[in-house]
Each structure stands twice: as C-alpha cells, then as structure tokens.
Amino acid sequence: MHFKPRATRRRSIYILPNIFTTLSLFFGFYSIMGSVNGRFAQASWLIMISALCDGLDGTVARMTRTTSQFGVEYDSLCDLVAFGVAPAILAFFWALTPEQLASFSPYHQKLGIAAAFIFLACGALRLARFNIFSGARDPGFFQGLPIPGGAMMVAAAVLWHHRAGPPIAPYGPAILGLVLALAFLMVSSIDYVSHKNRALFRNNKPFETLVSVVLILGLVIVKIKSALLPLGFAYLLSGPIVTAARAGRRRARPPAGEEGGPPRKDEAGPAKADH
C-alpha cells in the first residue's frame, strides 16, 4: 500500500475550503443573472445559499487546519461579488429603478443608483477594514454589520414581499431607506455578536435553550419567507444593545493593574473568518 507524502495530502486538503468559497461566488454570480432577468425571488434564494457556502468555507478551513492568507484574500474577493454586487443589483432592479422611484419624486429618480452603489462601496470598505483589523479585535464580536448579513437582509426583504403569491410593486422609498441603513451599519462601529462567541455556548439551561432553538427553526421552516425578515431585523437591533452593554461593562471594569495581573488583550481571530 502506497501513501501520499504528507505535503501532497496537505495541499489537497487546502482545496476543500476554497471549493466552498468558489461555490459562494458561483451562487452570487447566478443571483446577479437572476436579478437582471427579473427573477427576484430566485436571486434572493441564491444569495441565501451563497451565504451558507460562505459560512462553510471558514468552518471547513478551521476543522481541517487549512487556513491560509490565500484563502483570506480569495474569500474577500468572492464576498464582494456575492454579498456586495449581487444584493446591490437585486435591490436596484427590484425596487430602485428610476421608473419605480419616479412616483416618489421626479427629482429623486437616480437615488436608486446612488443607494445601490453606496451599499456596494460600504461593503467593500467593510471587507477591507475586517482584513486589516481582524487580528486586533475580539473574535466573538464583529465591528459593524457583517456584509453577508447586509446581503441577506436585502434578500429577506424580497422574499417577504413574495410570501403570498404574485406581489404588487414594492414601495421604492422604503427599500431605499433599508439599503442606505444597511450600508451605514456595515461601516459603523456597532458591535454584532459573532457565531464564534464562546458565550453563546455557555448556558445554565441547555435543555430549555435547545427546545427554543428547535421551535425557532421549526417556525423558520414552516414560514421561511415570512420569518427571515423579522429575524434579520432582530439581529440588526441586537447590535446597538450589545454595543451599549459592552460599553457599560468597560466603564464598570476597574483600570488595568488595580486588581493585579496584566491588562486583558483581545484574542486574535482565525485567518479565515466571516466578514
């Protein structure tokens, strides 16, 4: 029996996380094609699938210990397409075209183009900031709304609108406000809980928590088009609450050195992570 050299096996394993990253890029690209052709619900589901693949690539990389700088850069480039370009184009063709905003005000017909571009630009800034400062921050929290979260909110809004058969035309000004709010949250300093936060897995009532999670998942499965948007808004609102709570704890904490021991440092995050 012949065995591959260890270095060869390791190089083959590196392919695994990047396959999921490429799948995320593919579904993001396919979502763009759906939006251009007016298949908005399909484009929204493709963004959701892309987000699932994006979550799996980091998980696979950590499980197989195949994180790399190449994976970080490739992941960011793919995220910009799947969660920056795709939702911006989806929002524009769905609700922000000049014709749809003309009824709002004839002088604001091009606001949709500007809002879609601002969303894309803020997503790019969000990714750049994450790549530079991720190692200096607590990996249990994101600074600003993660770009997949912003993309999924746009997709969830479309699915909510399509939850009961053929929908009427969306209300452009409301979607305009949503897109601009998501862009602001992505580049803000508001803290959002990461799925890698260890506190999420420390619970005094694990059984009750598990039952609650099962019930929520059941609701999402049964009413998925109606459940995603409220859950998304709940996550958006959690950011200011978490930020205020963390600020309060920092103010209540005694200065470093008063109780002995070195000052606390944030842990460095993994090389490949969600944005």
Nearest-10 crossing angle of helices 40-63, 86-95: 160
pLDDT tens for 134-163 read 666 666 788 899 999 999 999 999 999 988
Query: Where does residue 143 fall: left (phi above 0), alpha (psi -120 to 50 degrees), or beta otherwise?
Result: beta
Quote the pLDDT of residue 63: 80
- Write down the pTM of the prediction: 0.81
Q: Residue 170: pLDDT above 70? A: yes
Domain boundaries, the chain: 6-250
Quote the pLDDT of residue 17: 85
Q: Positive or negative, the Cα torsion across 205, 243, 263, 265? A: positive
Q: Residue 268: pLDDT above 50? A: no
Q: Span 6-250: which CATH code? A: 1.20.120.1760
Residues 6 or more apart from 92 whose CB is under 8 A from it? 35, 112, 113, 115, 116
More confident residue, 208 or 26: 26
- The rounded percent of the chain whose pLDDT value lies above 90 is 44
Mean pLDDT of the chain: 81
> Model confidence at 12, in pLDDT bands (50, 70, 90)?
very low
Q: Give ∠ CA 30-35-39 in degrees, rounded to 5.
A: 95
pLDDT tens for 186-231 read 999 999 988 665 665 566 666 666 677 777 777 767 677 788 899 9
Q: Would you call 224 exposed, middle or buried from its count of C-beta atoms within 10 A (0-12, 13-18, 19+)? A: middle
Quote the pLDDT of residue 37: 95
Q: Which of 71-75, 133-137, 208-212, 265-269 has the lowest mean pLDDT?
A: 265-269
Tokens of 205: 């009532």
More confident residue, 184 or 271: 184
Query: Where does residue 163 fall: left (phi above 0), alpha (psi -120 to 50 degrees), or beta otherwise?
Result: alpha
